[in-house]
Amino acid sequence: MTVLAIESTCDETGAAVARSFGEPMVVEILSNLKASSAEIHAKYGGVIPEIAAREQVAAIIPVISEAIARAKIKVGGIEAIAVTQGPGLIGSLLTGVETAKTLALAWKKPLIAVNHMAAHVFANWIGEKTPELPAVALIVSGGHTDLMYLESLTAWKWIGGTRDDAAGEAFDKAARTLGFSYPGGPMVAKAAEEAKTDLPVEMKLPRPMIYENNLEMSFSGLKTALAQVIEQNGERLSENPGLINALAREFNQAVADVLIKKTMKATEQYRPKSVLLAGGVAANVTLREGLARAVKEAGKEFFCPNLEYCTDNAAMIAACALLRPNYVDPLKLRPNPGLEVR
């Protein structure tokens, strides 16, 4: 089947054309495009929902037209339209959902509703080598940090996650505290890579809940601890600016340490065949490489999407639609900003 997929959860407008073939199913991406309003939001230090929604309206038709053109197919070759139903910002979601409904009705194509968080996980099915189930999946994005047990493509169980801030949210807040702009995660990661100075012991950060015998996490205290270190060491930091990068490296490592430890705990407990990493924070090299090493040592298969499929994109929406199609009535579909992972 060939689908046109549309993604408009937050500040990025994505469209992709993808097709599936074979048994087990292989997903091939024919085109994958996105427009972003992140540069506008950077001025405000975070996403302004009204601006994001307005930018979605401006970008959506050009991005869809270009995705179809680059896939070198005609509208007649599209067999279904897939769209993100939620979770996300209501104004942004509305743009994608209403556009998809209109195209489905005008072009007489079936419509598939996609759960954005599930789609992050399905990014691991793009390409020839696909995960064997059951699997444990760690989903880490701007709004979510969840551990899931995937018994099959459809039977998913939530087994753990954060009590407060999501990992991506923690990165974004830490970036602000360190004086970087939005989106913060990639900036903290870059500063961490460039760090050359050793961090004094008294500036080390905690690894919250790491030794607790459960699959729960907490990141809000870590952000507070970072703010305190900065407040208490103002003079030292201005005398030695290299310490800012060293603090970024420490924060980056603290988040990765907790995520890796808890994912491995879930792996011991649930004994899956594969371990999957998904979501925007999966682009973090410390996390990707650290988790890959730990999973390999445990004798399991590790999967992580290519970088372009980690942060929000429409290719993952197409993958989810092809592997787990949820057909809906175009006249009835409504966006759901609070849709849960399943």
Q: Shortest distance, CB of residue 280 to Zn ion, whole angstroms?
A: 6
Burial 25-64 (b: 16+ CB within 10 A, else e): ebbbbbbbbbbbbeeebeeeeebbeebbbbbbbebbeebb
Name which of 267 and 311 has its Cβ closer to ligand KG4. 311
Instruction: Tell me which residue of 40, 41, 56, 49 sits closest to 8, measured CA to CA.
Output: 56
Summarize as ranges the residues that interact with ligand KG4 (CB under 6 A).
120, 141-143, 168, 171-172, 183-186, 189, 279-281, 283-284, 311-312
Alpha-carbon span 159 to 188, nearest angstrom: 28
Name which of 208 and 305 has its Cβ closer to ligand KG4. 305
Q: Shortest distance, CB of residue 123 to Zn ion, whole angstroms?
A: 10
Name which of 144 and 223 has its Cβ closer to Zn ion. 144
Q: Shortest distance, CB of residue 74 to ligand KG4, whole angstroms?
A: 31
DSSP-derived letter for residue 131 is: P
Q: Shortest distance, CB of residue 42 to ligand KG4, whole angstroms?
A: 12
Residue nearest to ligand KG4 (CB): 280
Whether residue 272 contacts residue 300, with contact meaning beta carbons closer than 8 Å, is answered with yes
Lookup: tokens for 170: 């923690």
Name which of 187 and 323 has its Cβ closer to ligand KG4. 187
Name which of 95 and 245 has its Cβ closer to Zn ion. 95
Instruction: Tell me which residue of 96, 70, 94 sits closest to 14, measured CA to CA.
Output: 96
**CB under 5 to 8 A by kind: which of ligand KG4, Zn ion, none does 282 bind?**
none
Tell me which H or E stretch contains 163. Answer: none
**CB under 5 to 8 A by kind: which of ligand KG4, Zn ion, none does 165 bind?**
none
